[in-house]
Each structure stands twice: as structure tokens, then as C-alpha cells.
Amino acid sequence: MVSASPVSGTHVAPSAARESLRMQPRSRFATWRSSDHVRLVLIWLVLLAVPFAAPNAYVVSLANLALINLILIASLNLLMGFGGQISLGQAGFFGLGAYASGILNVKWGVGAWLGLPAAALIAGAAAFVIGVPTLRLRGHYLSMATLGWNAILVVFFNQFVSLTGGPNGLLGVKPFAFFGIALDTEPRAFPVVWLASLLVMLTILNLLHSRIGRALRAVATNELGADAIGINSFGIKLLCFTLSAAMAGIAGSLYVHVNQYASPDTFGISVSILLIVMVALGGSGTYWGPCLGALIYTAVPQLLLNYEDAELMLFGLGMLVVLIVFPGGLAGVPDALRRRFAPGWSR
């Protein structure tokens, strides 16, 4: 990420060491941080042009979906890539947020702007309750518990017909409104999704560079070691899991108010599993990996639509090839290529 630090680079030729000293900013963390911040804001500013540049509403709807998927994948990456905990229930929290916000709106007339924080709160609270007994232990317990949790949620989405609409889905959800203007088309809803995804990405970036983020990575690397230097591993894992679920809840609320509809199929365990795969394909534990993952997750099914029956096979084969050839995910490809073709010039 940064040029070799003078401390660890003592074996480097003196001129190179001086060079790196001269290049060394006041705090190496500060530059990394600010450059990621600048990049994030620049990319999102460019994205702002999407509704104007897009040829039709369909493309904007894909952009909305991609940004919602990004929130899901980035929040899962926070938990899985940086925290080392695997949740098989991310789609469940997504669905919980969607149904919570949607039902509040349809049954009790609660507006979308209130539904959004409510969805985050409900999904986060549910994660907290699941996390307390399972995160005390190391190992597979979180993945098992979240798998069961997601299965239970899907049953409830399907069977509580009076509340959720059952297999037909939840209909009649009102869109976001801005000073009395209903944001009921995809281009109109885009700014809301754009802003929410930017805020989530900023939160994750700031979190990763905070004391909590460093503690999280320490826990992921060696939990016992982290405990030994005074980190409350359980607390950190619980916070991270709760935050990740709350973000998925936000994604759910956005989804239901933008599409004005939710169906149980969108929130099944298979979706949870695919989200994990997307984290890995993008680059697990890298900040920008989820952007690639979200692009793949949104675009590839659209590209494969023409192949009908072969779609699933092509998707699976592509996934296998990427995983086997680039175990670090697509975000690691430039580095891998550089190491291969210019071994001396590794950063």
C-alpha cells in the first residue's frame, strides 16, 4: 500500500532508503486514508452522472440495484474479509430490513424516511441477539446460527401471509418522497440510493481506519493474541456483526422502497451464499473488492440472460475459474500481475 517504511527497510540500499524517507509523509496512515477517501468521493461524483448519461430507465434501475448490492457485499466484507467471521444470513438481514420497512409502510403508514433507520435498527438488534450466544465461541458457530436464522426468516416471509403477503410478495409499498414529490421512478430514486451507498462506504472506510478497525483485523488474524493485548474480541466481533446486519437492513429498506415490492425469493439462503461468493470474487478483505463483486453480481446475470438454460453453468464455471486462478479475488489481480511480470517493482 505504501512505500517501504524506513524502519523495516534498513537492508535497502542507502539511496533507496533516503528516497523512501524523503517520500515518507508525516503519517503513512494519513495518506492512505485520505487517498481512499478522495477516490471514493471522486468515484461517487462520477456516478452522479448515471441518471443523465443512461440511455433509459432500465440502466438506471441496474445502477440502483448495483449500489444496493454494493451495500450488502461491502457490509458482508467488513464482517468476513476484515473480521474473519462468516455469516450465511446476510440475505436474511437484507430481507428483515426490507419487510420491516415495507410492512411499517403498508400496514401502519410509516414513511420511507423513518422506515430506513427502523430497518437498520431491527436488523441490527436481531444480529445482536444472535451474536451474543454465538460469537463468544470461535469456529463455525456464527455460520451455523445465521444459516438457521435465514431459513426461519424465509419461512416467516412465506407463511405470515396477512403481514408479508406470503409467496406473492409484499405489494403497495410507497416510494421515498422528497418535499411532497414521490421518488417513484428509478432515476428519481437514484439520488437516495447513491447517498446511502456513499454513506455506508464512508462509514466502513472510517471504521477500518479507526481503533476498532485495527482491533477487528487483530481479532481476525489471531483471536487469542488479540485478547492477550487487551482487545475485547467478543465485543469487537459483536459490534462488527451488528453493524454489518444493520447495513444490510438499510439495503433492504432501500430495495423495498425503490422497487415498491418485496418477494421472499430475494432473501433466501442461496442469496446469502452468493453474496459470500461475491465478496470472495471481488477480493475478500480489500476495501474496493466489494465494488467489483457488486458489479459482477448485478451485471453478469443480465449479460447471461440471452443464454437461458446455459446461464447457470456459465456463471458457475466463471466463478470456479476466477476462484482457482485468482484466489485473492479480482481486486488482487493487478498486484498479482505486477508480481509476476515485474517482480522487482512490488509495492
Partner 1 sequence: MQISAVVLQLLVAGIGTGSIYALIALGFNVVFKSTGAMNFAQGEWVVMGGMISAALFASASSVGLACLLAVILVAIFGLLSERLVIWPLRRPTALMITLVSIGLAICTRSFVMLTLGKKPVGYPGFSGEATVSLGGATFQAQTLWVVGLTLAFLVVMHFFFERTMLGKALRAAAADREAAAIVGVKVETTILISFGIAAFAGALAGAIITPLTLASYDQGAMFGFKGFSAAMLGGIGSLPGAVVGGLVLGLLEVFGSFYISSDFKDAIAFAILLLILFVRPSGLLGRPDIVKV
Question: Is the Cβ of residue 157 or residue 288 nearer to partner 1 in the bound state?
Answer: 157
Q: How far is the CB of 260 from partner 1 (least distance, A)?
A: 27
Question: Is the Cβ of residue 36 or residue 311 nearer to partner 1 in the bound state?
Answer: 311
Question: Is the Cβ of residue 90 or residue 134 nearer to partner 1 in the bound state?
Answer: 134
Angle ∠(225,227,229) on CA atoms, nearest 5: 75
Q: How far is the CB of 234 from partner 1 (least distance, A)?
A: 14
Site residues, partner 1 (CB under 8 A) = 86, 133-134, 137-141, 143-145, 147-149, 151-152, 155-156, 159, 224, 269-270, 273-274, 276-277, 280, 309-313, 315-317, 319-320, 323-324, 327
Contact between residue 170 and residue 261 where contact means Cβ atoms under 8 Å apart: yes
Q: SS3 for the chain, per residue? A: CCCCCCCCCCCCCHHHHHHHHHHCCCCHHHHHHHHHHHHHHHHHHHHCCHHHHCCCHHHHHHHHHHHHHHHHHHHHHHHHHHCCCCCCCHHHHHHHHHHHHHHHHHHHCCCHHHHHHHHHHHHHHHHHHHHHHHCCCCCCHHHHHHHHHHHHHHHHHHHCHHHHCHHHCEECCCCCEECCEECCCHHHHHHHHHHHHHHHHHHHHHHHCCHHHHHHHHHHHCHHHHHHCCCCHHHHHHHHHHHHHHHHHHHHHHHHHHHCEECHHHHCHHHHHHHHHHHHHHCCCCCCHHHHHHHHHHHHHHHHHHHHHHHHHHHHHHHHHHHHHCCCCHHHHHHHHHHHHCCCCCC
Phi-psi region for residue 170, left (φ > 0), alpha (ψ -120 to 50) or beta? beta
Q: How far is the CB of 233 from partner 1 (least distance, A)?
A: 13
Question: Is the Cβ of residue 71 or residue 276 nearer to partner 1 in the bound state?
Answer: 276
Q: How far is the CB of 229 from partner 1 (least distance, A)?
A: 14
Q: How far is the CB of 285 from partner 1 (least distance, A)?
A: 11
Q: How far is the CB of 193 from partner 1 (least distance, A)?
A: 28
Q: How far is the CB of 134 from partner 1 (least distance, A)?
A: 8
Question: Is the Cβ of residue 45 or residue 317 nearer to partner 1 in the bound state?
Answer: 317
Q: How far is the CB of 143 from partner 1 (least distance, A)?
A: 7
Q: How far is the CB of 46 from partner 1 (least distance, A)?
A: 31
Question: Is the Cβ of residue 138 or residue 339 nearer to partner 1 in the bound state?
Answer: 138
Phi, psi of 26 (to 5 degrees): -55, -55
Contact between residue 141 and residue 295 where contact means Cβ atoms under 8 Å apart: no
Question: Is the Cβ of residue 277 or residue 330 nearer to partner 1 in the bound state?
Answer: 277
Question: Is the Cβ of residue 29 or residue 307 nearer to partner 1 in the bound state?
Answer: 307
Question: Is the Cβ of residue 193 or residue 240 nearer to partner 1 in the bound state?
Answer: 240
